[in-house]
Amino acid sequence: MPKKPQIPQRQARMKEVAVRARVSPMSVSRALRSPDQVSAETLRRVQKAVREIGYVPNRLAGGLKAPTRTQLAAAIVPSVRNSLFAATLQGLTDALRKKGISLMLGDSGYSDTDEETLIAAFLAHRPCGLTLHGTTHTAGARRLLQKSGIPVIETGNLTERPVDLVVSYSNFDAAKAMTEYLLRRGYRRVAFVGLPVAGNERVRERRRGYYAALAAAEISRDDALVLETVGGVENGARTLLQLMEIQPEVNAIFFAGDVLAIGAMMECARRGWDVPKRVAIAGFDDWEISRQFATPITTLDIPRYRIGERAAELMLRRLDGDKGKIAPIDVGFRIIERQST
């Protein structure tokens, strides 16, 4: 059986385009990157040759020569499977694509040391910008980022000591506002359920916000009303039951993590408990499901997509030469009042 002749699998080079278009490689480069700097005739011939050959520029070579324009950015999120981060990623890619910038994506698994490893791996590809979720990093990570010289955007929390740029909402303010809202509605025994605080400053800030609201209302803390649990719908259900059993007099529960509120609401549905009469339930981050319950869930709207968009904008500003200090951007939040409270 005669083998098909192996076509030499090598991408065409700019030089070949140049030969075909009867111009120098330099003119090809210019025609592709700044079309208004070449004559109409040159442009036409280059475009024709590019089409005919099926030329795909080699950004490795370009980036080697012009390190600030690799047309490649990077983002690291704690988990690609979490739809909250997905929304931010969408905002990022949408905004970057308009400028022809591709995105490398990494998943730190909520681990700072894995984050550092990823940062190093990404920097090896010389991205022209890097977005991180969270504002706590290893010392090594900070060193890498600073030496890199590229714009670094931190999201997920407003921090006092940013590496470079910050785009986020305030976890503290948001949790405080929601707690105050619950207190205003007349709930006096308000519980707080969040993810484990250890090593996660976003969660810690939310709990601080909850405490601050209590203090402002001159209600003393009750540690029995503050629970930690890992994520997952079923853990929302579990902590709800736990609270109702140990602290039957609880009026309202503020679930400050992911899908916990949804899990709790489903548990109430299973048991036929009336929400908010028996217990009020509030969430954090407006999931699509939250509004679909017979009793829709009161929650916080965080503009996740917008965070990605703004992050891209800041990055591009830096790449456009703005070397000045850029103040942290607070994208804000909004309480969505529904029937569960």
Q: Which residues of 2-17 are buried (b: 16+ CB within 10 A; e: fewer)?
A: eeeeeeeeeebbbeeb
Please identify, using beta-carbon distances, which residue of 89 and 225 lies nearer to a second copy. Answer: 89
Size of the site for DNA (CB under 7 A): 28
Q: Which residues contact 309 (CB under 8 A, 6 or more apart)?
A: 91, 92, 94, 95
- Please say whether the beta carbons of 188 and 218 come within 8 A: no
Residue 41 interacts with DNA (CB under 7 A): yes or no: yes
Find the shortest distance in angstroms from Cβ 26 to DNA.
4
Please identify, using beta-carbon distances, which residue of 48 and 221 lies nearer to DNA. Answer: 48
- Per CB under 7 A, the list member of 3, 5, 8, 10 interacting with DNA is 10
Please identify, using beta-carbon distances, which residue of 21 and 268 lies nearer to a second copy. Answer: 268
Interface with DNA in residues 56-85 (CB under 7 A): 57-58, 61-62, 64-66, 69
- C-beta neighbour count of 205 within 10 angstroms: 24
Q: Tokens 């407003």 appear where?
A: 158
- Per CB under 7 A, the list member of 13, 208, 317, 334 interacting with DNA is 13
Using DSSP, state whether 19 is helix, strand or coil.
Answer: helix
Q: Which residues contact 47 (CB under 8 A, 6 or more apart)?
A: 31
Q: How far is CA 273 from CA 121, 158, 187, 240, in A?
A: 51, 38, 17, 12
Please identify, using beta-carbon distances, which residue of 66 and 269 lies nearer to DNA. Answer: 66
Using DSSP, state whether 298 is helix, strand or coil.
Answer: strand
The rounded radius of gyration (Å) of the Cα atoms in the chain is 26
- Considering only CA atoms, which of 229, 259, 257, 258 is closest in space to residue 242? 229
- Per CB under 8 A, the list member of 17, 72, 214, 261 interacting with a second copy is 72
Residue 185 interacts with DNA (CB under 7 A): yes or no: no
Residue 146 interacts with DNA (CB under 7 A): yes or no: no
Residue 257 interacts with a second copy (CB under 8 A): yes or no: no
Q: Which residues contact 220 (CB under 8 A, 6 or more apart)?
A: 214
Residue 255 interacts with a second copy (CB under 8 A): yes or no: no
Looking only at the bridges linking them, the beta strands covering 299-301 and 334-336 are: antiparallel
Find the shortest distance in angstroms from Cβ 281 to DNA.
54
- 226-228 sheet: strands from edge to edge: 226-228, 190-194, 252-255, 280-282
Please identify, using beta-carbon distances, which residue of 41 and 288 lies nearer to DNA. Answer: 41
Among DNA, a second copy, none, partner that 15 touches (CB below 5 to 8 angstroms by kind): DNA
- Binding piece for a second copy, criterion CB under 8 A, among 158-166, 197-205, 208-216, 229-237: 229-237
Binding residues for DNA, rule: CB under 7 A, are 10-11, 13-15, 23-27, 29-30, 32-33, 36-39, 41-42, 57-58, 61-62, 64-66, 69
Binding residues for a second copy, rule: CB under 8 A, are 9-11, 54, 56-61, 63-64, 67, 70-72, 79-81, 83, 86-87, 89-90, 93-94, 97, 100, 102-107, 118, 120-126, 143-144, 147-149, 232-234, 237, 259, 262-263, 266, 269-270, 288-289, 292-294
